Structure 1
Amino acid sequence: MRYILLFVILFTADGYIPQLNTEESQDRPRREIILYKTYGYLDGDEWVIPARVLVQKKRRWLQGLITWTMDLTSDYSDDQIDIFRYRLRNIVANSKGRRTVTIRIQGQDQEQRFQIKDSHGDFPRTDRNGLIRGEIRIPVDLASELLRYQQSENGWLTLELRSGRYRGSGHVQLIEPEGLSVISDIDDTVKVTEIPAGARVVVRNTFFREYSAAPGIAEMYDQWNDAAFHYVSGSPWQLFLSLSSFLFGDQAGFPKGSFHMKSARKNPMTISTWRDLLAFVTNENLTFEQKIDQISVIFQHFPDRQFILVGDSGERDPEVYSEILTRYPGQVKKIYIRDVINDRELNPERLAGMTIIPAPTILRQGVSVEELSEDIADADF
Structure 2
Amino acid sequence: MESANEKMGNSLSSELSNTHSTLITYDSCAHHTESGWEFPVSGHLLGKKISRMRERFLNRLLLRFAQVDLTDQDSPEFALVQRRIQPFIRKAKKKVPIGVRLGGSYHKIASPTRRGGRFKTTVNLSSQAVSAFLEYDTHSQPYLPIRGVADLEQTVTIPSRCYLVDPVGISVVTDIDDTIKDSQVLDRRQLLRNSFAKPYEPVKGMKEVFEAWQQKAVKFHYVSASPWQIYNELHPFLDHTGFPGGSFHLRQFTLKGQVIRKLIRRRYQKKRNQIESLLQRFPRRQFVLIGDSGEHDSDIYGSLARQYGEQVRKIWIRSLAGNPLDLTRSLEAFRDVPKTTWRIFHEASELSL
The answer to whether structure 1 residue 229 and structure 2 residue 226 are counterparts is no
Q: CA deviation at 1:221?
A: 1.0
When residues 347 and 300 of structure 1 are mapped into structure 2, their CA distance, relative to the original with a 3 A threshold, is: closer
Match of 1:162 in 2: 149
Choose the corresponding residue for 1:321, options 283, 290, 301. 301
Give yes or no for contact 2:175–2:224 (8 Å, CA) kept in 1: yes
Measure, in 2, the Cα distance between the counterparts of 1:68 and 1:234. 19
TM-score, structure 2 normalization: 0.80
Structure whose CA Rg is larger = 1
SS at match of 2:189: helix
Match of 1:355 in 2: 343
Give yes or no for contact 2:171–2:288 (8 Å, CA) kept in 1: yes
Measure, in 2, the Cα distance between the counterparts of 1:299 and 1:68. 36
When residues 215 and 134 of structure 1 are mapped into structure 2, their CA distance, relative to the original with a 3 A threshold, is: same
Match of 1:129 in 2: 116
Measure, in 2, the Cα distance between the counterparts of 1:257 and 1:329. 23
Give yes or no for contact 2:23–2:45 (8 Å, CA) kept in 1: yes
The answer to whether structure 1 residue 59 and structure 2 residue 49 are counterparts is yes
Measure, in 2, the Cα distance between the counterparts of 1:26 and 1:37. 17
- The residue type paired with residue 143 of structure 2 is W
- The residue type paired with residue 101 of structure 2 is R
Q: CA deviation at 1:218?
A: 1.0
Moved more, 90-99 or 41-50: 41-50
Match of 2:284 in 1: 304
Deviation string 1:244-287 (CA, Å, 9 cap, x unpaired) is: 111111xx2111111111111224xx303x4311223xxxxx31
The answer to whether structure 1 residue 277 and structure 2 residue 263 are counterparts is yes
Residue segments in structure 1 that go unaligned for 5+ positions in a row: 1-23, 117-122, 281-285, 361-381
Name the structure, 1 or 2, with higher relative contact order (CA <8 Å, separation 6+). Answer: 2
SS at match of 1:275: helix
Moved more, 97-106 or 73-82: 73-82
Measure, in 1, the Cα distance between the counterparts of 2:56 and 2:44. 23
Match of 1:179 in 2: 169
Match of 2:248 in 1: 259
The answer to whether structure 1 residue 336 and structure 2 residue 316 are counterparts is yes
Residue segments in structure 2 that go unaligned for 5+ positions in a row: 1-13, 349-353
When residues 68 and 38 of structure 1 are mapped into structure 2, their CA distance, relative to the original with a 3 A threshold, is: closer
TM-score, structure 1 normalization: 0.75
Match of 1:18 in 2: none
SS at match of 2:133: helix
Q: CA deviation at 1:32?
A: 1.3
When residues 338 and 244 of structure 1 are mapped into structure 2, their CA distance, relative to the original with a 3 A threshold, is: same
Report the number of matched residues: 313
Q: CA deviation at 1:115?
A: 2.7
Structure 1 segment 66-77 matched on structure 2, within 5 A: 66=56, 75-76=69-70
When residues 156 and 167 of structure 1 are mapped into structure 2, their CA distance, relative to the original with a 3 A threshold, is: same
Give yes or no for contact 2:57–2:258 (8 Å, CA) kept in 1: no
Measure, in 2, the Cα distance between the counterparts of 1:101 and 1:94. 17
Measure, in 2, the Cα distance between the counterparts of 1:298 and 1:219. 24
When residues 319 and 69 of structure 1 are mapped into structure 2, their CA distance, relative to the original with a 3 A threshold, is: closer
Q: Structure 1 vs Structure 2: percent identity of aligned residues?
A: 27
When residues 346 and 207 of structure 1 are mapped into structure 2, their CA distance, relative to the original with a 3 A threshold, is: farther
When residues 304 and 160 of structure 1 are mapped into structure 2, their CA distance, relative to the original with a 3 A threshold, is: same
- The residue type paired with residue 189 of structure 1 is T
Give yes or no for contact 2:99–2:106 (8 Å, CA) kept in 1: yes
When residues 29 and 160 of structure 1 are mapped into structure 2, their CA distance, relative to the original with a 3 A threshold, is: farther
